[in-house]
Amino acid sequence: MNNIKKIASFFQDNTRKMKKNDWLIVGVMILIYSIISFINLGSTKNPQTFKKFARYDNSVVFKIDEEPQYISKMRHYAGKEGGSYIIMGSTDNENYEKIISFTDESAFKWDDISINKKTKYLKIFPMTEGRYIGEIQLYNKNGEKMQVTAESEDAQKLIDEPDTVPEKIDYTNGTYFDEVYFPRTAYEYAHGMQAYEWVHPPLGKLLQMVSIMLFGMTPFAYRLLGNIAGILMIIVMYAFGKSLFKSRKYALLSGMLMMFDNFHFVQTRIGTVDSFLVLFIITSAFYMFQYLQLNKEESLKKKNKYLFFSGLFFGLATCVKWTGLYLGLGLCILFFGKLIIDIIKDKKLDKSYIEIILACIGYFVIIPCTIYVLSYFLFPNVSPKQVSNFSELFDQIEAMYKYHSTLVAEHPFTSKWYTWPALIRPIWYYASTEASGLAEGIRSTIVAIGNPSIWWVGSITSIFVLLKAIWKRKKEDIFIVVLMLAMWIPYAFIGRIMFLYHFFPVLPFMMLAIVSFIKSIEKKKKWNWITITYMIIIIVVFSIFYPVSSGMPVSEDYIESVKWLSTWQF
């Protein structure tokens, strides 16, 4: 009984501040989640040198052996830009005949090409200029690796890193889904090349560039900082919950909702920039809430501190993706709402209000604009325009706007904005192939799907919190509702195709709505068991969907068993 009381007292703290026990809890959460999220995050070993086929006649030749040998397949690693090639064979290195042609449709990814030919020399002939291959490996009829000799220095570049050739091809050693855009661009930033992805601001790719420069162009490197951002989100959500609800118990629930959401898990482990976007958004919102809690009598220095950090992280979010601007709409409503209420109470507009407004122009306009400009001027190699002055920067912004506003495309996993909370259409990111070397009836798949026990519950509780905010006008509920709607409703006016990941910035506020609902029910009904029961449920459901969120090889029957809706395809 005494032990139970000690545990209960450990979780009882009704203040907004993070204390020693809070950091202890967060430390345990981060340790557990880090272990889970870093398992099979990505290979640390991939080819780093590449052969560029600069011209059509820039072919490479390999000698197989003194006598013709049977080649079953060629495993090769595409560089930053795939291309079309012809593989040719010869017995005398003079007269060649075509064996097969192939096209690389991805970047920084392994693929197998069937050869099934007996030959003494093998030539790779490019059909497109300016394309890259990093490494090749030939296999005999028994599937064993073959040793070959390069007939030129250029050809040697394709067999100089044999230890990087994987035993099987899967998501851990190559790009998948939108990784063909963001890590590739980060790699090009790192090497001063013309950048490929230009429809989003540079900051997210610049962050990826840092780990690529430190650890090389590997899946682990370009997924590393995104995964770390996903870990930091848990910390921010815990602190957010503590500050909003003045309770260690509800802070723990807030952190666990992020920790055990499958969509958060998937989206922060793929090498895109959404992890940075969401981390910056919730951090900016957190600091704005700290400001909103201050009394008029609080020092100007303290007010400026919170507003500065809110503006800084708002600027960082906007410099990752323009959708960060939606946060600005919510912050503006909250800030001026408080300001107007305070002025009405004081019945005058004194000097302190003017100072705060002027400070916010610096924090929420000047600082974000400065970060935005510097992110381009420091690394100007972006298309379609080189950005080295303000005129070219405005041309770039115009080109980005035209791209997003006029985009006409189709995709099997696109979805409408109002279907996102209900998880009608998850995004299928990865599916294993024969090259993955899995047994019959076993598959590996990655689908960006939320934890249904969070998303479906959140869909209902968000409506409750919206109504409660209107009726009772509780500051915490108003704060959650304003930011949730500000981050979500603008998508109703966007005509281009959209995906479930566009809801990611809304997700943290929907989670906080869940916590607000549970707190209200427990307080009203005195049902203190709801929180712990719900925590157990979200962990169980996360575990159920973990195999299809992580790429874990499982039976096809298991994958079919977790397709709870007919619209779920993976």
Q: Which tens digit of pLDDT belongs to each residue from 13-66?
A: 788 899 999 999 999 999 999 999 999 999 999 999 999 998 877 899 999 999
Structural domain for 369, as ranges: 2-38+195-561
Residues 327 and 398 in one domain: yes
Please report the pLDDT score of residue 173 as a whole number: 96
Tokens of 385: 């325009």
Starting at the earlier edge strand, list the strands of the sheet with 131-139.
51-53, 131-139, 69-78, 110-119
Q: Are 156 and 225 in a shared domain?
A: no
Token pair listed for 327: 């946060």
Please tell me whether residues 301 and 416 are part of one structural domain.
yes
Whether the pLDDT of residue 408 is over 70: the answer is yes
The verdict on residue 44 lying in a domain is no
> Given 160, 176, 204, which residue is the final one in a domain?
160
**Is residue 187, in this structure, part of any structural domain at all?**
no
In a domain, 313, yes or no: yes
Query: 3-class DSSP state for residue 114?
Result: strand
pLDDT tens digits for 268-317? 999 999 999 999 999 999 999 999 999 888 889 999 999 999 999 999 99
Same domain, 22 and 55: no
- Both tokens of 26, joined, read 């967060």
Whether 134 and 282 share a structural domain? no
Give first-to-last CA distance, the chain, whole Å: 48
Residue 382 above 80 pLDDT? Answer: no
pLDDT band at 388 (very low <50, low <70, confident <90, very high): confident
3-state secondary structure 433-469: CHHHCCCCCEECEEEECCCHHHHHHHHHHHHHHHHHH
Q: What percent of the chain has pLDDT over 90?
A: 81
Query: Is the pLDDT confidence value at 404 over 70?
Result: yes
Q: Is the pLDDT of residue 2 over 80?
A: no
Helix or strand run (H / E) with residue 373: helix 367-377
- Residue 233 pLDDT > 90: yes
- Alpha carbons 472 and 53: distance in angstroms, whole number: 67
What would the mean pLDDT of 352-372 be, rounded to a whole number?
94
Identify whether residues 303 and 342 lie together within a single domain: yes
Q: What is the pLDDT of residue 349?
A: 78
Most distant CA atoms of the chain, gap in Å? 96
Q: How confident is the model at residue 527 (pLDDT cuts 50, 70, 90)?
A: confident
Question: Across all residues in the chain, what is the average pLDDT?
Answer: 93
The answer on 8 and 116 residing in a single domain is no
> Tens digits of per-residue pLDDT, 343-356?
888 877 788 889 99
User: Is there a domain that residue 483 lies in?
Assistant: yes
**What crossing angle do the helices spanning 182-190 and 203-215 adopt, rounded to 10°?**
70
pLDDT in tens, 119-150: 999 999 999 888 999 999 999 999 999 999 99
Instruction: Assess whether pLDDT exceeds 80 at residue 12.
Output: no
Residue 102: CATH number of its domain: 2.60.120.260
Query: Does residue 168 lie within any of the structural domains?
Result: no
Indicate whether 96 and 33 sit together in one domain. no
Section 395-421 average pLDDT: 90
Q: How many residues does the chain have?
A: 570
Burial zone of 337 (CB within 10 Å; 0-12 exposed, 13-18 middle, 19+ buried)? middle
Residue 381 has pLDDT above 80, yes or no: no
Q: Is the pLDDT of residue 238 over 70?
A: yes
Read off the pTM: 0.93
Three-state DSSP class for 430? strand
In a domain, residue 175? The reply is no
pLDDT mean over 426-441: 92
Q: What confidence score (pLDDT) does residue 378 get?
A: 77
Same domain as 233, residue 134: no
Asked if residue 547 and residue 405 are part of one domain, the reply reads yes
Picking from 205, 263, 223, 165, the residue whose alpha carbon sits closest to that of residue 41 is 223
Q: Is 431 helix (H, G, I), strand (E, B) or coil?
A: strand
Is 127 part of a structural domain of the chain? yes
Calculate the alpha carbon distances from 564 to 327, 426, 453, 560 in Å. 33, 12, 12, 9
Boundary-marking domain end, from 140, 160, 180 = 160
Q: Same domain, yes or no, for 32 and 55?
A: no
Task: Compute the distance between CA of residue 133 and CA of residue 124 in angstroms, rounded to an integer.
Answer: 10
pLDDT reading at 389 higher than 90: no
- Banded pLDDT at 442 (limits 50, 70, 90): very high
Domains contained in the chain, number? 2
Average pLDDT over residues 414-435: 95
**125 domain-assigned:** yes
> What's the average model confidence in pLDDT over 503-531?
94
| Lowest pLDDT segment from 244-248, 321-325, 526-530 | 526-530
Which pLDDT does position 334 carry in this prediction?
Answer: 96
User: Which residue has tokens 């869940």?
Assistant: 514
Q: Are residues 64 and 21 in the same domain?
A: no
pLDDT band at 1; cut points 50, 70, 90: low
Of 117, 137, 160, the one marking the end of a domain is 160
CA–CA separation, 360 and 366 (whole Å): 9
Q: How do residues 466-515 score in pLDDT, each as one tens digit?
A: 999 999 999 999 999 999 999 999 999 998 899 999 999 999 999 999 99
